[in-house]
Amino acid sequence: MVDLLTFVNEHPINESSIKAALAREGKKVEKLVPSDLFPYDQDHYGGLQAVKELAEKARFSANSVVLDVCSGMGGPARYISDCYGCSVVGLDVNKSRTLSAARLTRWVDLGNTVSFVCGDAGIMPLGQNAFTHVVSQEGFLHIEDKGALFRNCREVLRPEGRMVFTDWIASPNLSSHERNILRDGMAAVGVHTEVEYKNYIFEAGFDSLETEDLSSWWAKILPERFKMYQSKSKEAGEAFGLRRFEEFINAYGAFIRVLEAGKLGGMRFTVGSL
Ligand SMILES: C[S@@+](CC[C@H](N)C(=O)[O-])C[C@H]1O[C@@H](n2cnc3c(N)ncnc32)[C@H](O)[C@@H]1O
């Protein structure tokens, strides 16, 4: 079974793979602008299009104070700040990702508005009522205690704040065998049905919720993403060993099969004052 630390630290998308991609384009770290990173730093499904749709739901403005939970290498945080001029804090439990996120942000000169905190969203090391928005993309599947997660998100949000996130959604017929495959291969310890998610959200004190089913979009784009990962055998094999790369590919293949069987999908949740 892969633990979250290994899954994230030995992931084919990482700071070195971004640097290698920029070098292939002949781009120098000292001369980068945020958009140079966008093709490479978005570690969720649907790339910038997904962040744009999330941003529309969030209704950011220049005065927004945004928390990106499970921020990874900070791609969405930088995009949001660059587009709206607002301040964004990224929270991620992984130290190496947090350090990469801060470095990439310095390269593109967004350090005045975008910052990163290394910490667990299940504990939430941030102040009450500090944010106008909480966002997240494809991170919550790694968090088992959703009760604590949503209570924490409610606490750091101002009363009129909005929370928008996307995540995997289990269909009620996802078997325990398939759940175990996803947990063991992709550190997906917190996979829920839509009904379970709704219960957690309302129990945390949110009073309104809109959902959008992204499953058919994801079913189109995820096989492409799988092909992109398969093409990274040399680079990822050299970085983390071929055996680890093959484990990753096998786990991702199993994930795609569960998705294609219609037992797993994607959903966007817009929560709070609608
Ligand atoms: C697939 S990446 C998504 C990164 C980012 N949202 C993006 O779209 O580019 C998932 C991230 O969630 C983080 N994560 C998992 N559990 C977490 C927790 N309990 N608290 C904070 N971050 C967590 C992981 O370290 C990883 O960087």
Please give the distance, rounded to the nearest whole angstrom, from the Cα atom of residue 72 to the centre of ligand 1: 5
Nearest CA-CA partner of 112 in 102, 97, 98, 124: 102
Closest protein CA for atom 15 of ligand 1: 142
Report how far apart, in Å, the C-alpha atoms of 199 and of each of 46, 94, 106, 194, 243 are: 27, 28, 40, 9, 40
Domain ranges of the chain: 4-272
User: Strand order of the sheet with strand 264-272?
Assistant: 114-118, 87-92, 65-69, 131-137, 157-170, 264-272, 209-213
Residue with CA nearest ligand 1 atom 26: 72
CB contact at 8 A, 269 and 162:
no
Residue 70 Cα to ligand 1 midpoint, Å, equals: 3
pTM: 0.97
> How far is the first Cα of the chain from the last one, in angstroms, to the nearest whole number?
40
* Distance in angstroms (rounded) separating the CA atoms of residues 188 and 208: 27
Pairing label, strands 157-170, 264-272: antiparallel
Q: Which atom of ligand 1 is nearest to the CA of 41?
A: 9
Q: What is the pLDDT of residues 41-99, one digit of tens each?
A: 999 999 999 999 999 999 999 999 999 999 999 999 999 999 999 999 999 999 999 99
Ligand 1 contacts (CB < 6 A) are 4, 8, 42-44, 70-72, 75-76, 91-94, 97, 120-122, 137-139, 142-143
Q: Contact 53/43 with Cβ under 8 angstroms?
A: no
Residue bearing tokens 């001369």: 31
Q: How far apart are the CA of 233 and the centre of ligand 1, in A? A: 23
Nearest protein CA to atom 13 of ligand 1, as residue: 70
Q: Which ligand 1 atom is nearest residue 42's CA?
A: 9
Rounded distance from Cα 92 to ligand 1 centre (Å): 6
β strands within 128-185, DSSP E: 131-137, 157-170
Among residues 243, 229, 259, which one has the least CA distance to residue 12? 229
Residue whose CA lies nearest to ligand 1 atom number 16: 142
Q: Residue 122 Cα, ligand 1 centroid: separation in angstroms? A: 12
C-alpha–C-alpha distance, residues 211 and 195, integer Å? 11
CA of 43, closest atom in ligand 1: 9
CATH number for the region 4-272 comes to 3.40.50.150
Pocket test for ligand 1, best of 42, 51, 93 (most atoms within 8 A of CB): 93
Atom of ligand 1 nearest to the CA of 74: 9
Could you list the pLDDT tens digit for every one of the 274 residues in the chain?
999 999 999 999 999 999 999 999 999 988 999 999 999 999 999 999 999 999 999 999 999 999 999 999 999 999 999 999 999 999 999 999 999 999 999 999 999 999 999 999 999 999 999 999 999 999 999 999 999 999 999 999 999 999 999 999 999 999 999 999 999 999 999 999 999 999 999 999 999 999 999 999 999 999 999 999 999 999 999 999 999 999 999 999 999 999 999 999 999 999 996 5
